[in-house]
Every structure is written in structure tokens, then in C-alpha cells.
Amino acid sequence: MLDNLEAIEALMKQAAIAAGATIVTSTFHRFVPQGVSGVVVVQESHLSIHTWPEVGYAAVDFYTCGDCVPEEAHKTLFDGLQARDYELMVVERGLGPIGSAMFQVKHTTTARPVLAAASGMTPVLK
């Protein structure tokens, strides 16, 4: 699956739709000897993926605004890739002062859930 450009592109589009995003366009590339990278551009921003089939790994980023629900995209991708493990990091971005405009809200893996600090926000950038 991680080396199948057509399947990865279809799955990424399904994930965008599941999240409630509006697809604008997409572009994907298969590397030789293996691996796929691609982007689905949505009105709300974009989803990107990079795969390393030789080690059974895929990295996905979903940048969004508006009413999208990125967690729904995660569910679609987790199931579609038949993943055994995952790491999910939710980061709030904004237009605040430099050094305070990006906060880790939640960090979860299948092995151990890690929640943000009691304040609900942990700075990622300083």
C-alpha cells in the first residue's frame, strides 16, 4: 500500500472528505525504487503524505482552518493504511506574538496517550 501512488492518492482524498474539507487539486509522485509523496490542496489548506515502504512508515500532515475535523481524516488514514501504530500531534497555530503563536494541544500514540499540560496548552516554539 505505501508504494501504491493511486491507492495513496485516493485514500488521501477520502481523508480530506471525511474531515469535511473541500478538495481543490492534488499532486502525487512515486519515487524509484520506492515511496510516495503527495499533497491534496483543500480550500481550508492542505494534507500531505510521505511514505517509506521499506520501513513501513508514513508521515502525514493536515493543516486546516474552519470547520474541518482532522481527527476524522486520521481515522480514515489509520484504517486505510492498515496501520498498527500511530503518533498524533494536534498543534494550534495562530497569529499571536512570535514565540507564542504555536501550541501543542495533544500528543497521542497507540502505546501511550500524552495529554497537554494542565493549562491545556504547551508551547512548541519559544
Residue range 102-125, pLDDT digits in tens? 555 555 666 433 333 333 433 333
Whether residue 33 is preceded by a cis peptide bond, meaning omega within 30 degrees of 0, is yes
Which cell goes with 24? 481543490
Fold for 1-82, please state it: S-adenosylmethionine decarboxylase (3.60.90)
Where along the chain do its domains lie?
A: 1-82, 85-126
Which residues carry out catalysis? 45, 50, 65
- How does pLDDT run across 35-69, given as a tens digit for each residue? 999 999 999 999 999 999 999 999 999 998 888 99
Where does the chain show beta strands of DSSP type E?
23-30, 36-42, 45-52, 57-63, 87-93, 102-109, 113-115, 122-123
Residue 30 clears pLDDT 80, i.e. is over it: yes
Percent of the chain with pLDDT over 90: 59
